[in-house]
Amino acid sequence: MNRIQELFQRKQRNVLNVYVTAGYPNLNDTITIMQALEANGADLIELGMPYSDPLADGPVIQHSSSIAIANGMTIETLFTQLKHLRNSVSVPVILMGYMNPVLQYGFEKFCADAAAVGVDGLILPDLPEYEFETEYGAIIKQYGLDFIFLVTPETSAERIKKLDSLSSGFLYAVSSSSTTGGDKAFSPVQEYLQRLQSYQLRNPVLVGFGVKDKASFEAAAAYSNGAIIGSAFIKSLDGVDDVTAATKQFLQSVLR
């Protein structure tokens, strides 16, 4: 059993996945922030690999990506930083990014290096289902990595079930079809999440996009296995001197 499966077996409700951009706010903050996330209650860490054209990311995460790239963050640098990851971080870690830089790095090399440092899964929003099934899925599986697909309120029931069958780890339920970080009203989202529950999916469901504080986390988690917070956490790191203290303060505001 891998770390993600073990997490959801142990904890079925209120799972908190926190997204952070690697190399933000400073190049060498990556591991420090991950340690602080685990120490203060994050169940799962989604580590963003900065990219210059992030399709699904709103302005806050785009801005953090720009800064991380300017700081010198690359996939090579990230794997160097993660080399001793499992000496100090025990929660599951997922790499989130886009196909272009991964393909430039070499897809199989990327999967091998991710597995070698103790990464548990991947989210690549622009990897199409067909290419996953015919080419890349087998490589991902070969290296023991989970792959998480995204679904939206507009995704048909048939397609949701198909993406659920292809996913492992969990299914990422985007709470709207816009980009990350916007203000979302949670009543239409509840209807959508209840619909997902009715499909009796194979994977646990985590809700992302628009989850930003205690109230929205609890609202999302009421109809799913938990939620993903990204932009709000990134904002909380903007301009701070002590990323450990800022991380603690943010997570306490969500979990207490």
For this structure, is 238 an active site residue? no
Of the listed 29, 38, 43, 46, which one is catalytic?
46
Instruction: Quote the CA–CA distance of 86 and 24 in Å, as a whole number.
Output: 20
Q: Which positions ≥6 away from 34 have C-beta within 8 Å? A: 20, 45, 47, 85, 89, 93
Closest among 47, 68, 23, 51 to 228, alpha carbons compared: 47
For this structure, is 46 an active site residue? yes
Of the listed 57, 113, 120, 164, which one is catalytic?
57
Beta carbons of 201 and 171 less than 8 angstroms apart: yes
Q: Computed from CA positions of residues 158, 57, 50, 79, in that sequence, does the dihedral angle turn out positive or negative? A: negative
- By three-state DSSP, how is residue 51 classified? coil
- For the chain, what's the residue count? 256
Which residue carries 């999302």 as its tokens? 220
Instruction: Quote the CA–CA distance of 128 and 244 in Å, as a whole number.
Output: 37
Catalogue the E-assigned strands of the chain: 15-21, 44-48, 93-96, 121-123, 146-147, 150-151, 171-174, 205-208, 226-229
Catalytic residues: 46, 57
